[in-house]
Structures are given as structure tokens and as C-alpha cells.
Amino acid sequence: MPTAAPTQATATPRSSGRVLGLVGAVLVAAGVAVVGARARRAPEPPRLGSVPDFRLVERSGRPLSMADLRGRPWVADFIFTQCAGACPAMTARMARLRRDLSPDVRFVSFTVDPAHDTPEVLTRYAATFRADEGWRFVTGPAKDLYALSVAGFKLAAMEVPPAEQVAGGDGPFLHSSKFVLVDGAGVIRGYYDSTDEAAMRTLAADAAALPAGR
């Protein structure tokens, strides 16, 4: 008796369900992996304005402008070497950030007392905090430094007349104690209270979140 020709196997409802279940599980796993990767990538900090160009003098005696700082993020502050108030603590915190953050992040400390803080004075001051070449200490004409602080960084900076100086204060100069994070394009990304440890942790995280070259 002739045998029947073999017929093509057809999927049963049960086997189709298993296949669809496996496909669904793979897609869910892939989705979870993508979401997890996005969650681990911290969002970039906001854009808060741009730092205008400037031409000042670094402690090495070399000129410094915005062109020299482009391409990598940097942290800025305003201090003066004879400050008996906030400045020593600010500079110590900058030194700690310099040690803790990626070497790609640079640091720039601008003086608000350029009459005293010459490149030579800034060099000696920087040495007390073991500052390397990635940490710039900057001086120049007072009017240019104050304009950069007030109009550029939106931070207070001014000379205080002797009659208005407060005992135990910073002395003859008023300046902000905030640190400012600037990206490699010269855009301000954040202001951070240098006296607040939580703010310092946020600064470190924000600096790490900036893409390379920005």
C-alpha cells in the first residue's frame, strides 16, 4: 500500500506561545539593559551663560585667554593671597578637587588683588598648595579682573574702603566664595558653595558628567 506523502509540520498553539514568550523575554531584557545604561549616565548640568574672552597673565608670566582653556572643562574661583578669611579654605578645597577629579579637568584661580598678587607672589602661593601646571593662578589689571568676575561670572568682586572693612572679614576685598564649573566651550555649567561638602560632591559629579572636549 502506498504511503502518504510527508506533510510540512505546522506549529501548534502551545509551541507558538513558547516562541512568542521567548521573543518577548529577549526584548524586555534588551529594554532593561538600555534603560539601565541611561540611568547610569548622569545628565549633563545646565547651561548658565558664557564666559567672555579675556586676556590676563598666568603665574608663569605667560598670557592667558579663553582660547587657552577651550576643549576641556575647568573650575574657577576668585581669591587673593593675603586673604585671612575664606581664601585659604577655598584654595585647600580646590587642591582636594584637583587631586580627586580627572586630570582632564583644569583649575583657574583669579586674584582680586592684582596690585599685590604678581606672578611671582602667585607662584609662591601656588607652591604652598602643591599646585601643578593644570591649576592656573591668574592676575592682570584690576578693572579687567573685576569686570570678568562681575559681568562674566556674575560673581561679586570689589575693593572695600577701610572704613567699611569688618574685623575678622576678608579684609580690603569683597569676593564670592563660590566655585564655577565651565565646560570646554566656555559655557558656565554650575555654581557651587565652596563651604558646603554636598555642593563639592555635586561639583565633582557634574564635572564627570561633561562629555570629553566640553
Q: For the chain, what is the domain count? A: 2
CA nearest neighbour of 183 among 54, 65, 66, 22: 66
64 and 92 fall within a common domain:
yes
Query: In which region does residue 186 sit, left (phi positive, over 0), alpha (psi from -120 to 50) or beta (all else)?
Result: left
Q: Does residue 78 lie in a domain region?
A: yes
Report the pLDDT value the prediction gives residue 113, as an integer from 0 to 100: 92
pLDDT digits (tens, 9 = 90+) for 114-123: 999 999 999 9
Report the pLDDT value the prediction gives residue 209, as an integer from 0 to 100: 92
67 and 138 fall within a common domain:
yes
Average pLDDT over residues 95-111: 95
What is the domain-level CATH number for residue 108? 3.40.30.10
19 and 64 fall within a common domain:
no
Who contacts 171 (Cβ-Cβ below 8 Å, separation ≥6)? 82, 83, 84, 85, 160, 165
Residue ranges of alpha helices (H) inside the chain are 13-40, 66-69, 87-100, 119-128, 142-147, 197-209
90 and 128 fall within a common domain:
yes
23 and 106 fall within a common domain:
no
Strand partners, 15: none
142 and 202 fall within a common domain:
yes
Q: Does residue 49 lie in a domain region?
A: no
Tell me: pLDDT of 168 over 80: no
205 and 159 fall within a common domain:
yes
Average pLDDT over residues 82-86: 86
Q: Does residue 4 lie in a domain region?
A: no
CA nearest neighbour of 210 among 40, 45, 16: 45
**CB–CB of 102/73 below 8 Å?**
no
Q: Does residue 179 lie in a domain region?
A: yes
Range of the domain at 149: 55-209
75 and 99 fall within a common domain:
yes
**CA 115 to centroid of chain Cα atoms:** 29
Report the pLDDT value the prediction gives residue 157, as an integer from 0 to 100: 72
110 and 35 fall within a common domain:
no
**CA 156 to centroid of chain Cα atoms:** 20
